[in-house]
Amino acid sequence: MPIFIYGKIIEVQVKLNLMLNPIFLNIANFSNINFWFLLFSIILILQIPATIIILSRLFKGAIRVPPLQPESPTLDLLGTVSIVVPTLNEAARVTPCLEGLTRQSYEVREILIVDSHSQDGTQDIVKQFAESDPRFRLVLDEPLPSDWVGRPWALNTGFLNSSEKSEWILGIDADTLPQPGLVASVVKTAIANQYDLLSLSCKFILKYPGELWLQPALLMTLVYRFGSPDLSPQKPERVMANGQCFLCRRSVLEKVGGYSSAKNSFCDDVTLARNIAQQGFKVGFLDGANVLTVRMYDGLKDTWEGWGRSLDLKDACSKTQLWSDLFILLAVQALPLPLLLINLLFSSSLSLPPILSSTLLGLNGFLLFLRLILTAAISLSYDFSQAKQPWVFWLSPLADAVAVLRLWISATQTQIQWRGRTYGKN
């Protein structure tokens, strides 16, 4: 380690000691009762406004727009859509996606598979599909520039190689399974509601106990932060999007320079959607569980590493927004169950004032009850047909603290490994 860095670490440690020592000394002078009273009072001061905020976000879920349904195209949609699928060593899972795309109708002009020089036979699979469906076209992207992330680079390559006759560009991830009628449904919905950009949430296929336990808790962090997909207008900085099904007008992408404004983002879908919304275009995010399913990650470790990589959305928001959301998640998702257990098991030894103890029990009991209700609500977003022990899903509230911890870790990461590539701090 360079000497100047070591010196900086020592300097920071000295400053922290000087700052925190008086606090620790004061705490040490308190009796145990005063310490616990102070601690739980501070927690309540954090939890009460956080609860109000998430309730305001969740309220719109009561009037949410129904999930999209598969639709058949009309002649006015003939050849209006170019589909772009970025791939990198996807041979093990790309076939269901390509099969789903072949079942889309005449609204699809072309299907561009942009491959980043896969070494596992992905290109051969694409070529096989191209033999039976002339809409398929294999495109190899150029070497990745140092200031780009692989996925937006591939999507931008697909956009630049797409037909100018297509009015819409639809990004689809290789791990998805598009249902018949998906493309017609999303395009018709976008036109009917005058969207310039429309993305869809999907139905998750879960198999193994670890992912059944952790993945719903990770998804819940998004529900608490942004509510459910719906038509309600939002400020650009609160816009949500999902790159697994990401439809945008060609003219809009041309005006914003394609995917370049999200070139170094690991949540390029949200970053690009917010950039487009900030320029006055209409952006939507709706429920597509009936038209799109996805198999994202295998098992606990893969879910922890893969989805946790970008779930904090730090590339798409300010530090103030990011850390305020993380503290809200700590208050309403990570702490309720531990606090409830502590109060039930140790209330007598803590000797808290009755009003404080009852308030803690009431509020955290309510938050835990709300979490169980939301678990039932999001169960509609899951496909359990291949699950080994589907009942583990209902234990996901026990993973809430782990899920929030994952976001905190991701928010402080300065180096990310993804698809065999290592990226430094954006």
Q: pLDDT tens digits, the chain, 426 residues: what are they? A: 444 334 444 454 444 455 444 544 444 444 455 788 888 999 999 999 999 999 998 887 667 788 999 999 999 999 999 999 999 999 999 999 999 999 999 999 999 999 999 998 999 999 999 999 999 999 999 999 989 999 999 999 999 999 999 999 999 999 999 999 999 999 999 999 999 999 999 999 999 999 999 999 999 999 999 988 776 666 888 899 999 999 999 999 999 999 999 999 999 999 999 999 999 999 999 999 999 999 988 899 999 988 877 888 999 999 999 999 999 999 999 999 999 998 888 877 777 888 988 999 999 999 999 999 999 999 999 999 999 899 999 999 999 999 999 999 999 877 676 666 667 654
pLDDT at 261: 93
Global pTM? 0.87
CATH topology for 32-426?
Answer: Spore Coat Polysaccharide Biosynthesis Protein SpsA; Chain A (3.90.550)
DSSP state of 279: T
How far lies 40's CA from each of 227, 349, 402, in Å?
28, 14, 21
> What residues have CB less than 8 Å from 373, skipping those under 6 apart?
none
Torsion (CA) 48, 49, 51, 52 in degrees, nearest 10:
120
Domain boundaries, the chain: 32-426
Structure confidence at residue 401 (pLDDT): 97
Two tokens, residue 13:
């440690």
Are 112 and 155 contacting, i.e. CB atoms less than 8 angstroms apart?
Answer: no
Question: What's the pLDDT at 272?
Answer: 97
| Number of continuous H segments (helices) and E segments (strands) in the chain | 14, 13
As given in the structure block, the two tokens for residue 102 are 């072949």
How many angstroms separate the CA atoms of 223 and 84, rounded?
28
| H runs (alpha helix) in 168-264 | 182-192, 209-226, 250-255
User: What 3-state DSSP class applies to 37?
Assistant: helix
Question: In the chain, what are the helix, strand and coil shares in percent, each to the nearest 5?
Answer: 55, 15, 30
- Residue from 48, 91, 13 nearest 331 by CA: 48
Helix (H) or strand (E) holding 200: strand 197-201
DSSP H/E element including 302: helix 299-306
Give the number of residues written for the chain: 426
| Phi, psi values for residue 25, rounded to 5° | -65, -40
pLDDT score at 107:
97
Q: What is the pLDDT of residue 393?
A: 97
Phi, psi (degrees; rounded to nearest 5) at 171:
-85, 130
Buried b / exposed e over 3-18, threshold 16 CB at 10 Å, is eeeeeeeeeeeeeeee
What are the CA-CA distances from residue 232 to residues 59, 62, 181, 235 (Å)? 11, 12, 25, 10
- Residue 132: is it exposed, middle or buried by C-beta count within 10 angstroms (0-12/13-18/19+)? exposed
pLDDT at 425: 55
Greatest pairwise CA separation for the chain in angstroms: 79
Contacts of 368 (CB under 8 A, 6+ apart): 336, 337, 340, 397
Beta strands in 34-182 (DSSP E): 81-87, 108-115, 136-140, 168-172, 176-178
CA nearest to 205, candidates 382, 388, 395:
382
